[in-house]
């Protein structure tokens, strides 16, 4: 029995399949499990709080976990140990979320491509057909994560407070969210997962894409992301496409294509949820 996980900061999707790829249970969803933000005790608590997951904890033989915050060794090891303590009969393989995006978006396993994630957070890597190359180590939501959900959340909140929003957008934004300063600061500085809290505001953009202000915001974020991340692979971009995974990328496909035309890189595939493609990949490897 195989357990495959697409783990973000906001949520985790889990799929249980047999070795032939047959799904044994409907998709299970838990809260996000970012080990760069959460302590091991909290990671275990979130997993164990799912009765659906725990019914399989002794039967699972392989856990393939792809997650935000798993790109550096210490948080990756902490999450591995947390999973080992729960799925006691399983081999545990924890990879950064970029590898999930690679395996889910490629047209074939040997394809070379630049692969981007734009979800709650953001990242970008080059896959040469065999190995993953990361030229920028992510420093997380407070310093990086351009064009991500939490990036756009910050931009919206700042524009609201700096009075840079058009009046109709400001009224709609104020109507949809609690924008009391103390409430915002409480969620940012006193609660877990501030990046996920910020990302919750990004939905507003896609409900108001008919606004020039919103479309400009989306495209400006993509330009920043391209400058900081995609063009780290300037030489590779001459011959390979750029694939995108994650909900922000999925809903901003039109804007991404427009910026790609403007800046001169080739857009490839879009995958909102990589987990489905991972089932085929892993059952073929066993």
Tell me, what's the pLDDT at 286? 66
Residue 203 within any structural domain of the chain: no
Residue 137 within any structural domain of the chain: no
Residue 62 within any structural domain of the chain: yes
Residue 9 within any structural domain of the chain: yes
Residue 82 within any structural domain of the chain: yes
State both tokens at 156: 């919206």
Domain that holds residue 279: 2-100+274-285
Residue 25 within any structural domain of the chain: yes
Tell me, what's the pLDDT at 283? 78
Residue ranges of the chain with per-residue pLDDT less than 70: 286
Residue with tokens 């976990």: 65
Residue 239 within any structural domain of the chain: no
Tell me, what's the pLDDT at 110? 87
Residue with tokens 């889910």: 104
Tell me, what's the pLDDT at 183? 98
Residue 42 within any structural domain of the chain: yes
pLDDT tens for 208-247 read 999 999 999 999 999 999 999 999 999 999 999 999 999 9
* Residue 15: CATH number of its domain: 3.30.420.40
* Total domain count, the chain: 1
This model's pTM is above 0.75? yes
């Amino acid at each position: 029995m195989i357990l495959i996980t697409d783990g973000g900061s906001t949520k985790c999707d889990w799929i249980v399949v047999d070795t032939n790829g047959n799904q044994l249970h409907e998709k299970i969803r838990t809260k996000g499990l970012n080990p760069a933000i959460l302590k091991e005790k909290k990671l275990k608590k979130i997993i164990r709080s799912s009765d659906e997951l725990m019914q399989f904890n002794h039967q699972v033989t392989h856990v393939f976990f792809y997650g935000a915050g798993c790109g550096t060794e210490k948080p990756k090891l902490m999450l591995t140990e947390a999973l080992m303590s729960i799925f006691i009969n399983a081999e545990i393989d924890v990879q950064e979320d970029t590898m999930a995006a690679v395996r889910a978006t490629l047209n074939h396993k040997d394809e070379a491509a630049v692969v981007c994630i734009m979800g709650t957070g953001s990242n970008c890597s080059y896959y040469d057909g065999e190995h993953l190359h990361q030229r920028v180590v992510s420093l997380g939501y407070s310093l990086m994560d351009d064009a991500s959900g939490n990036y756009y959340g910050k931009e919206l909140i700042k524009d609201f407070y700096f009075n840079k929003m058009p009046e109709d957008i400001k009224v709609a934004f104020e109507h949809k969210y609690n924008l009391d300063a103390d409430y915002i600061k409480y969620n940012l500085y006193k609660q877990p997962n501030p990046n996920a809290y910020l990302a919750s505001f990004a939905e507003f953009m896609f409900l108001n894409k008919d606004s020039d202000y919103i479309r400009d915001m989306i495209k400006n974020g993509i330009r920043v992301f391209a400058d900081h991340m995609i063009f780290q692979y300037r030489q590779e971009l001459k011959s390979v496409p750029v694939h995108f995974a994650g909900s922000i990328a999925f809903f901003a496909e039109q804007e991404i294509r427009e910026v790609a035309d403007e800046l001169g890189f080739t857009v490839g595939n879009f995958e909102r949820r990589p987990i489905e493609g991972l089932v085929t990949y892993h059952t073929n490897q066993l």
